[in-house]
Structure 1
Amino acid sequence: MSEPRYKIVFDGEVMPEMPLDTVKENLARLFKLDRTRIEPLFGRRAVVLKRDLSAGDVEKYVSALERAGAQVRKEQDVAASLSLVETDDHRPAEVKDTPSDTSMQCPKCGYEQPRDIECASCGIVIEKYLARQAQLAESAVEAAVDAPSAPSPYAPPQARVGEALPEFGELRPFTSEGRIGRLRYLAWSLVLMAACGGLFGLAMIGMEINDMLGAVLFTAISIAVIVVAVMIGVQRLHDIGWSGWIMLLNLVPVVGSVLALLMLLVPGSTGANRFGPPPPANSLAVKILAALWLIPVAGLLLALLLGGFAAITGLAGDLVLPPQS
């Protein structure tokens, strides 16, 4: 006994809670047909979408069509042909028993005319046109069934909004784009100061050679150092989440000192902010260079303490010693 074959029948019904327009759009995309060619499928006449299917294949096709929102059913079939045209075994009785129905509508242009092989308006051979549309529909359904994971019409959109950011930002000292943390800000500032000292030494040598040459070198080096210092400071402000224009507050007395202190103390954003992803972790060299700032800071504090102690000791001596006559 041969294996039973099946066909897929569509009555124009949609799956529960599925909007009709959504189902039509899904089928139009699935069959790669124009929306107007899908409309006739949603009439009151049953349409055979696929014939001559095995028991395993028919379940795949039914699953793909139901994911698109079409409520289809499988029936046993002996024929081995595919047709999107309504068949005699599914044509309503009133249609089959009406011999006076001699008019037809062209499936391509919609022209009303008496039944004929060709359309009097666009000239297509109707049977060949329907067979071609059926082949295109079959190819589209097979592609959807063979896809590794067909998207569900109920699933939310998976498209990304905007571009994916890298985990860490790129370090570029000679630009105002990007972010740096507190330790890297200290390390880069120390390197800039060391480079500034070496460059000004060259400018002094140029001054010994020629006064004009020395003045040009001093001016160019000063401008370059200021520009790089502003770039580094802007990146530090970006790490906090502040605009780089805040650097202009350094021109205001007292306020500039407070801003410099905040740039050293306020931590940066832990994740990505509007200026980009966070900077990479601090290297050993960055930590060592940042720690070198403790030397001048400790010296300044020691000088202040010694100066204060000397002042207090001198004042105490003035109070204890008796006045000389």
Structure 2
Amino acid sequence: MTDRLQQATSGRAGLKLGWLSGRANRKEYWIWIAPLLVIEILLFGLGPVATLAVAIVRLLVWIRRLHDLGWTGWIAPIFNVAASVLAFALQFALGPDPAALAAAGVVLAGIVVLGCLPGQPFDNEFGPPPGRKAANPAETFG
């Protein structure tokens, strides 16, 4: 069995979707996250659809950043769901506005932590470190 076929059958073969795959270092992360936060704050009054569009892009940036840390991208949606559950639970104790503020604080803390942790300086299962070419030409052209 070839390596690529073995990876595909074991579930380790990642989709190569250009910008959506691979790793994002801290600089690239902040280049995307800082404007997204400003846009999300500006669009907050327009309703949930506008905020959701920005949140989806933020989720994709988080996934690439988690890949740079060597972690699975599934942590990002799990974190978002946990923050939403926290907001829902806090609504009964604090009311809707303080609960939303607490959930936003948790998400902001996650954004800052992801932006401060250094990525892995070596190749991991998600590719080489950002800014460095793949060591094997087959990874580049395969």
TM-score after normalising by structure 2: 0.53
Kindly indicate whether the alpha-carbon contact (under 8 Å) linking 1:170 and 1:279 is maintained by their aligned counterparts in 2. Answer: no
Bigger radius of gyration among the two: 1
Partner residue of 1:190? 34
CA drift of 1:196 comes to 3.6
- Return closer, same or farther for 1:218/1:255 CA change in 2, 3 Å cut-off: closer
Residue 228 (1) aligns with residue 57 (2): yes
- In 2, distance between residues paired with 1:255 and 1:191? 19
Letter in 2 for 1:272: D
- Return closer, same or farther for 1:257/1:221 CA change in 2, 3 Å cut-off: closer
Partner residue of 1:263? 114
Q: How well do the aligned residues superpose, as a CA RMSD in angstroms?
A: 3.4
Matches within 5 A, 1:86-235: 172=19, 175=20, 177-196=21-40, 200=43, 218-235=47-64
Kindly indicate whether the alpha-carbon contact (under 8 Å) linking 1:179 and 1:275 is maintained by their aligned counterparts in 2. Answer: yes
- In 2, distance between residues paired with 1:225 and 1:257? 14
Partner residue of 2:101? none
- In 1, distance between residues paired with 2:30 and 2:57? 14
Partner residue of 2:90? none
- In 1, distance between residues paired with 2:68 and 2:50? 27
Partner residue of 1:249? 79
- Return closer, same or farther for 1:188/1:171 CA change in 2, 3 Å cut-off: farther
- In 2, distance between residues paired with 1:186 and 1:218? 25
CA drift of 1:268 comes to 1.0
CA drift of 1:186 comes to 1.3
Partner residue of 2:126? 275
CA drift of 1:226 comes to 0.9
CA drift of 1:189 comes to 0.7
CA drift of 1:182 comes to 1.2
Partner residue of 2:67? 238
- In 2, distance between residues paired with 1:194 and 1:249? 21
- Return closer, same or farther for 1:276/1:257 CA change in 2, 3 Å cut-off: same
**How many residues matched?**
98
- Return closer, same or farther for 1:245/1:238 CA change in 2, 3 Å cut-off: same
Higher helix content, 1 or 2: 2
- In 2, distance between residues paired with 1:267 and 1:227? 24
- In 2, distance between residues paired with 1:191 and 1:258? 17
